[in-house]
Structure 1
Amino acid sequence: MTLLPLQVAAIALIRDRTVLMVTARGREVHYMPGGKIDPGETAAQAAAREAHEEVSLTLDPSALEELFEVRTLAHGQEEGRMVHMRVFRARTDAVPVPSAEVGALHWVTTADADRC
């Protein structure tokens, strides 16, 4: 049986040549704020919703700029399950605040890529 790929969306908030990443409570792996796209939701709407849920940013989905899509094996899922992640650039001067599900915020550079 072929598993359908997970459809997810994420936010890339870039400032001063760094990008915002988060870690979940009790985890060390960095990831961009984001999550699964809900039924009836566009990828941009999902990215904006997840940004609000994870880092308290209020973003207009129509103002998000799609940067790229990643297609890879899904981490922590059934063997062979794929994830399709659409990444959107967010432009805001608002200060991100971690939610209860987020352990910490990290502004990272390419030197931190091994943590992602």
Structure 2
Amino acid sequence: MRKIAKGRGADLRRGRSRHGRDVHCQRRPGSGQPARLSLGAVCVYPQNAGWNNDRPSLVFYSYGAHNLSNQVGQHYVLNNQTGGATARTCTGYNGTGDCQGFIQPGYYVDKDLTPINSILLVRP
């Protein structure tokens, strides 16, 4: 199990991926862990909703910064980008401020997004 460089209480677990046409993240039924997700996506699940019946509230596919609004409390952030691309949570908008750790492909973090204003998708 890997840990992100910064962030309190980070809970990272290994996920699995496969090609798919769906635009939402999915978990393996009954496992409680992420499994299948369209390659190249980073998904944010609703506050305190776990995997929310495989329905994230946000899905990001393109590299770069993605600003957040009205995202407070605990959320799962799942990275299934390909080719070693990582994801970071940042306290400032547009990928600025304190960008915390690196979420590796196939991992998710259970994170308090209250102080987070953007998610940065990073090319390898």
TM bracket, shorter-chain basis = under 0.3
Taking structure 2 as the reference length, the TM-score comes to: 0.25
Pick 1 or 2: higher relative contact order, CA cutoff 8 A, min separation 6: 1
Q: Which has the higher helix share?
A: 1
- TM-score with structure 1 setting the length: 0.25
Query: Which of the two has greater strand per residue?
Result: 1
